Structure 1
Amino acid sequence: MKIPQMIAAEFRRLTASPMSIVALIALMCVPVLYGGLYLWANQNPYANLDRIPAAIVVDDTGADVDGKTVNYGDQVADQLIEDGSFQWHRVAAGSATSGVDDSKYDFSITFPSDFSSALASASGKSPHRAVVTLTTNDTNSYLASTIGTQAAEKIRTSIVKQVNEEAAQQFLVGLADIRSNLVKAVDGADKLVDGAASAQSGASQLADGIASAQTGATQLADGNAQLASGSQQLASKLGELSAGAQQVSDGAAKVAAGNDQLAGKANEAGYAAAKLAADAPAAGQKLIDDLKARGDVDPTVIDRVQAAVTDIDTVVQKGNGDIQTAVGQVNQLAAGADQVASGAAQVADGSQQAQSGASQLASGAATAATGSAQLRDGLGTLHDGSTKLRDGLTTLHDGTAQLRDGLTDGVAKIPDNSPALQKKQASTIADPVNLKNDSITSAGTYGAGLAPFFVALAGWIGIYALFLIVKPVSRRAITALHSPVKITLAGWLTPGLLGAVQMIGLFAIVSGALGFGIHNPLGMYGLMALASVTFAAIILALNVWLGSVGQFLGLVLMVLQLVTAGGTFPWQTLPGPLASLHHVLPMSYAVDGIRQLMYGGNPATAWADAGVLALWMLIALLVAAIGVTRMTHFRTLRDLRPSLIG
C-alpha cells in the first residue's frame, strides 16, 4: 500500500457519511472561526473609542488672570467634547460617580473647584499643582480603565502644554518690556554721563576759583596784620604825644614846627585809613560774590565769610572815623599852633582822645587780621572740599560710563523679537519635542498587529481539532505493513494537507475580508502552511507515543505556547522560565516569521524562522516514526485498550 493510497483511505473514512462530512467541515472551519472572528472583533478598536461612554465633571469656579475671569475647566471640557475621542457626557459629580459604579460610564474625569486658580497660581506667591481626578471601575473593563488612564494623561499633557505656552508667552513679553526699559535706561545713562562730565568740569573750575580766593584771602590777612602793627605804632606815638602835652604848652614855637610834621604824618595816616575804609566793603562783597558764583560752596561757609567781612568792615569804618577825627584834630593843632599855649589843656585832652582812638584802631585792625586769617583758613578747607568734590565727580563720571556700557551690553544680549515670533517661541518652549514616528515596518492597525499571533494559534487549534477525528496512524497499515516511514508520512500528511487548506481559508479572511495589508502574500501563506504541517507533526508524535494523553498534552502545549509566543506583549516581559521557553517552542518562530513577511520585515529572519519550524517538523516526524516502528514490531496493553479520544 502506497502513501497516497493510505491518505485516500483516510479521506474516504472521514467522508463516509453525511455526519462525517459535517464534522470534517466544522473542524476545518475552526481556524477560520477562531482567528477570523477574534481578528474581526479587534480589527481596529482604537477607531471606535468614540463609542466608549465617559463622564466629564466640571466643578471649576474659575479664576481672575490679568483682570479677566477665566475657567480652564470649561475650556478643557469643551475641547474634549468637540474632539470626540470618547463618548463624553458632561454631568454632575454625583451622576458621574453612580454612572461609573453601575457601568453607565467606563470612567469619569473631574475638574475640581480650584482647578483654574491652581493653574493661575504658577505666577503667584503660593504656586501649587492643579488636580484632575480620574475615576475608573475595573469591573466595567480593565482595558477601558487603562484607556481612560491614557486619556487622562493625554489631557494632563495638553493642559501642561497650554499652561507652559501661556507662561512662556508672559515671560517673553516681560523680557521684551525689560529690553524696552533697558533701552530707555541706556538713553538716561548717556544723559547721566554727560551731566557727570559737566559737573566734573564745574567742580574743577570751582576748585580753581576757591584756590584763587584763598590766595586773595592770604594777601588780605597779611595786609590786616600790617594794619594792626601800624595802628599799634600809631597808638604808641599818640601816647608819647599825650605825655608831652605839657611840654607843648611851654614850647609852642617848637610844637608848631613839630605839629607841621605831625600834620603831614597824620594826613598820610588819614589817607591810608580812608582808602582802607573805601576799599574794604567792595573787596569783601567781591569775595562773597565769587563764592556764590561757584554754585556748590556750602552756604554755611558763605555765611561765615559774610559775617567775618561785615565785622572787619565795621571795625575798619569805625577805625577810619577815629583816624579822620584824629587827623582833623592834628590839623587843628597845626593850624592853631599860636593858640597852643592857651589851649594846652585842650591839646592834652585831644591827645588822650587820639591815643584812645589809635588804641581802638589797633584793636580793630587786630580783629580784622584775625577774621581775615579765619577767612583764609576757611577757604583752605573749602578748597580741600572742592578738590574732593572734583575727584568724586570724576569717579561718578567713570561709574556712569560703566553703567551705560553695561546697559548697552545687556540690551544687545536680549533679542528684539516681534510679537509673532514671541508667540511661536512660546509654542516651541511649551512643546519643544515633536515625536516623529519613523517606522521601519508598520502593522497599520491593532488587529493587524495581533494577526500573526492569532494566525499561528489558530493553526495549532485547527490541527488539534482535526486530530479529534483523524487517526494518527492506520491500524490496518501497522498490521499489514512493516514500513514505519510510510505509515508515519501518511499519518502526518492527512492532517497536514487539511491544515494547509485551513490556512488557505484563514489567509483569505485576513487578506480579503478583514483587509489587512500583507507585504509578501505568497511567503506569508507558505510560512502559515509550514507552521500548520509542523504542528501536525508535533501532535502526531504526541499521539503516537502517548495516545489520548498525548492529545491532552497537545492542548497543554498550546496553552504554554500561547503565553510564551510574545503575541500580545513583548516576550521580554515574561518571567524567566517562560522567557526561556519562548526561544524553544515552535509557535514563537511561527509568529515572528509571519510578522516579518506580513509587515515587510527582514526576509533573512523569516527564513531562519522557517528553518526552525522545519527542524521541529523533522524532529517530530522522526520521533513519530520511531514510535510507529515500535508499534509495528511490538504490542502493548495500551495499544489494545480503546482511546479516550477518537
Structure 2
Amino acid sequence: MSTIILSPFRLAAAELRRFRGHPLRSLALAAIVLIPLVYGGLYLWFAWNPYGRLDHMPVAVVNEDQGATVTTDGETTAINGGDQLVDQLKADRIFDWRFTTAAEAARGLDDGDYYMVITVPEDFSARLASLSGTDPEQATVEFDLNDANGYVAGIMASTAEAELRNQINTAVYVTFATTIFGDLTDLNQGLTDAAGGAGDLTDGLATAQAGAAGLETGLGDLTTGAQQVADGADQVSDGVDQAVGTAQPVVQTLADNWDRIQTGASSAADLADRADTDLAAAYDALCTADPDADPAACTALQSFITDADQANSDIQAADDRIQATTTDTLDQASADLTALQTGAADVADGASQVAAAAATAETGAADLHDGLTDLHDGAGTLAASLATAAESVPSTNPAEDADNAEAYGSPVAISEDNLNPADTYGRGLAPFFIAIALWVFGLMAYLVLSTANQRALAGPLRSVPIALGGWLPAAFLGVLSAAALYLAIDLGLGLDPANALDTIGFSILVILTFSAMAHLCKLAFGTAGSLLLVVLLMLQLTSAGGLYPVETTPGFFQALHPLLPMSYVVDALRVTISGGDTAALTRALIVLAAYLVGALALSSLVVAGRRRWKPDSLNEPLRV
C-alpha cells in the first residue's frame, strides 16, 4: 500500500531529475516557472495605471478666438472666451497641453506628435456674447483625433472628454457672467466695501445704543422729578383755591364799602387826633400848671399820653393808606386773586402734562434702545452676510481660482460610491491577466515535461499513480510559478489585495487545476493537445468577461461563459483582490475542484487506454 502511495511522488521526482546535469536543462525548468511572471507581470506593469499619466500625452490647443464686445446699459464690455478657456486649461493640466497654431497642430496630429487637437474657433466669443441678446447662438469647440496614432489613445482622450467639457463650461460661465453682470472682481470689491460699511454701521449703532440706554435712564429720573413737581403743583393749586375762596369775598366786600370805610377812617383819625390833643392839654392843666399835682398820677398820665400819641400816629398812618387806596385798587386785587387761582390751576395742569410727557418720553427711549439693539444685531448680520457673499464671488481668472470657477461653471457634480474599488486600471485587470498567465504556464510546461513515465506504462504500476506522477512535476513547478507571480505583482506593482492569503491560496488551486487540464490535453492528444490548449485559451479570453462585461459580448461567448473555468477564476480573484461577495469565491472553489478532480480522473483513464498498444502508439500522427 505504501508503495502505491509513494509511487506518484517517485515518478515526479524521477521526471525532475531528468533535468539535472546540463545547465540548459535547469534553465528550461526555471523558464517554465518564470513564464507566468514574464507574461502577467510585464503586461500588468506596463498597463498598471495609464490613466494616471494622461498629463504626459501631448495634446495641441489652438486658440483662434477673435474676441467680442457687449454693450449693457450703454457700457461696452470686452470679452474673450478663448483666453478664459486657455487660462482654465493651464490651471488644470489633464493632458500635456501644447498651445500652438492651427498649421502646427494639423501637422503634429498627422505626424503623430499630438494625440488630439482642441480648436477654439474665431467666433467663439461672438457666439457667447449672443447669450445676452434675443438671438442666442451655441458656441462650439472642435476636437480632432487621428486613430492612425493609436485607437486606444483616442479612447483615453475621449475618456477625459467629460473633464474637458467641465473646463470649457467653466470658461464659458466666467465669460458669460462677465458679459451679463460685468467684472466679478468689481462685484467682489463692492461687496467687500459694503461689508466694511456695514461693520462701521454696527460700531456706530453700538454707540447709539449706549446713548439710548443713558437717555432712557435720564428720562426715568426726569419722569420721577416731574411727577413730584406735578404733585406739589396740585397741592399749591388746592391751597390757592382755599386762600382765594376766603380772601376774595373779603376784598370784594371792602371794595363795595370802601367809601364808607374811608369816611369812617377819616373820622377815626380826627377823633384820635383830638383825643391826643385833649390829653396833652389836660396834662398841661393838671400837671404843668398845678405845682401840687400828684407826681404819680402825672407820670401815669404821661405814659398814657405817650401810648395815645403812638396810637394816633398808627391811626393816622392807617388812614393815610386807606385814603390812598382806591376802589379800583381793591377791584384789581380781586381780579389778581382770581388770576392767581387760575394760574395755580394752570401750573398744576402743566406740571401733570410734563410728568405724562416725561413718562411717554421714557417709554419712547426704551423703544429706541430696543430698536437700536435690533438694528445693531441686524447690521452685524448684514456685515457677516456681505463678507460671506464677497468670498463666494468666483474669480474671473480661472488660473487664480480654478476650484471656484469650476464649481460655478459646472454647478452639478456626480457623487460616485464604489463598494469595492480597484483604484487603478492594472489592479482592475489583474484577475484577468493572472488567470491568463497561469493558463499559459500549463501550456508551456508540457512542452518540456513528460506527461507520463514510459517505463511505468510498461510496468505493473496502476494507471492512477502513473497519471498523478505525470502531473505532479508541473503542479510543483506551478506552485512556485504562482508564488513568484504574486510576489512580483504585490511587491513590485503594489497589488495589495483585500485578502492576501485567499489570493495566494486560490492562485495555487488555479495553477493545480490548469496544469491538470494541460496534462490531460497533452496526454490525450499529444502535440494536438498543445493546439487544443491554445484554442481553449482563446475561447476563455473572449468569454471570461475579464475586459468587458459578458453581457456586452455576442451570444456565443455568453453561452461559453459559465462552461469554462477561467470565468470563475476571474470572478473569484476580483473578490480576493478588490473585495466583494464571497459567494463568487465559493462557487469558483467548487468548480475548479471539480475540474481538477475530473482532469486527473480522465488522465488516469487515458493512461489506462495507452497501456493497450496500438500502431499509433509508436508513431504519433502529428509531431512538433
1:352-501 aligned within 5 A: 431-501=410-480
Q: Distance in 1 between matches of 2:168 and 2:417?
A: 27
Equivalent residue, structure 2, for 1:22:
27
Find the residue that maps to 1:64 and give its secondary structure. strand
State which of 112, 117, 125 in structure 1 corresponds to 2:126.
117
TM-score normalised per structure 1: 0.59
Q: Distance in 1 between matches of 2:592 and 2:430?
A: 19
Equivalent residue, structure 2, for 1:11:
16
Equivalent residue, structure 1, for 2:512:
533
Answer whether contact 2:9 2:472 (CA < 8 A) is retained. no
Give the Å deviation of 1:468.
0.5
Q: Distance in 1 between matches of 2:180 and 2:121?
A: 28
Equivalent residue, structure 1, for 2:552:
573
Find the residue that maps to 1:15 and give its secondary structure. coil
Give the Å deviation of 1:153.
3.7
Find the residue that maps to 2:160 and give its secondary structure. helix
Answer whether contact 1:547 1:643 (CA < 8 A) is retained. no
Answer whether contact 2:503 2:576 (CA < 8 A) is retained. yes
Give the Å deviation of 1:515.
1.4
Equivalent residue, structure 1, for 2:197:
none
Instruction: Supply the AA of the counterpart residue of 1:133.
Output: E
Find the residue that maps to 1:14 and give its secondary structure. coil
Answer whether contact 1:14 1:469 (CA < 8 A) is retained. no
Find the residue that maps to 1:55 and give its secondary structure. strand
Q: Distance in 2 between matches of 1:166 and 1:56?
A: 19
Q: Distance in 1 between matches of 2:469 and 2:391?
A: 78
**Relative to structure 1, is the Cα distance of residues 436 and 588 closer, same or farther in structure 2, using a 3 angstrom cutoff?**
same
Give the Å deviation of 1:518.
1.1
Q: Does 1:101 align with 2:110?
A: yes
Equivalent residue, structure 2, for 1:559:
538
1:321-336 aligned within 5 A: none
Find the residue that maps to 1:109 and give its secondary structure. strand
Gap runs ≥5 in structure 2: 183-384, 395-403
Answer whether contact 1:134 1:149 (CA < 8 A) is retained. no
Q: In the TM superposition, what whole-angstrom CA distance separates every residue of 1:179-204 from its partner, at most 9, and x where no partner exists?
A: xxxxxxxxxxxxxxxxxxxxxxxxxx
Answer whether contact 1:134 1:152 (CA < 8 A) is retained. no
Equivalent residue, structure 1, for 2:167:
158
State which of 514, 520, 524 in structure 1 corresponds to 2:503.
524
Give the Å deviation of 1:25.
1.0
1:265-344 aligned within 5 A: none
Give the Å deviation of 1:528.
0.8
Instruction: Supply the AA of the counterpart residue of 2:604.
Output: A
State which of 87, 92, 101 in structure 2 corresponds to 1:83.
92
Instruction: Supply the AA of the counterpart residue of 1:71.
Output: N
TM-score normalised per structure 2: 0.61
Aligned residues: CA RMSD: 2.6
**Relative to structure 1, is the Cα distance of residues 467 and 528 closer, same or farther in structure 2, using a 3 angstrom cutoff?**
same
Q: Distance in 1 between matches of 2:570 and 2:58?
A: 35
Equivalent residue, structure 1, for 2:615:
637
Equivalent residue, structure 2, for 1:345:
none
Q: Distance in 1 between matches of 2:460 and 2:137?
A: 86
Find the residue that maps to 1:57 and give its secondary structure. strand
**Relative to structure 1, is the Cα distance of residues 151 and 119 closer, same or farther in structure 2, using a 3 angstrom cutoff?**
farther
Answer whether contact 2:84 2:171 (CA < 8 A) is retained. no
Instruction: Supply the AA of the counterpart residue of 1:107.
Output: M
- The alignment covers a number of residue pairs equal to 402
**Relative to structure 1, is the Cα distance of residues 73 and 167 closer, same or farther in structure 2, using a 3 angstrom cutoff?**
closer
% same residue: 36
Q: Distance in 2 between matches of 1:594 and 1:74?
A: 49
Answer whether contact 1:460 1:535 (CA < 8 A) is retained. yes
State which of 565, 585, 601 in structure 1 corresponds to 2:580.
601
Find the residue that maps to 1:523 and give its secondary structure. helix
Q: Distance in 1 between matches of 2:123 and 2:42?
A: 48
Equivalent residue, structure 1, for 2:252:
none
Q: Does 1:146 align with 2:146?
A: no
Q: Distance in 1 between matches of 2:63 and 2:405?
A: 28
Equivalent residue, structure 2, for 1:61:
66
Q: Distance in 2 between matches of 1:43 and 1:447?
A: 4
Q: Distance in 1 between matches of 2:622 and 2:41?
A: 31
Find the residue that maps to 2:520 and give its secondary structure. helix
Answer whether contact 1:468 1:645 (CA < 8 A) is retained. no
Q: In the TM superposition, what whole-angstrom CA distance separates every residue of 1:367-389 from its partner, at most 9, and x where no partner exists?
A: xxxxxxxxxxxxxxxxxxxxxxx
Give the Å deviation of 1:49.
1.3
Q: Does 1:45 align with 2:45?
A: no
Q: Distance in 1 between matches of 2:585 and 2:545?
A: 16
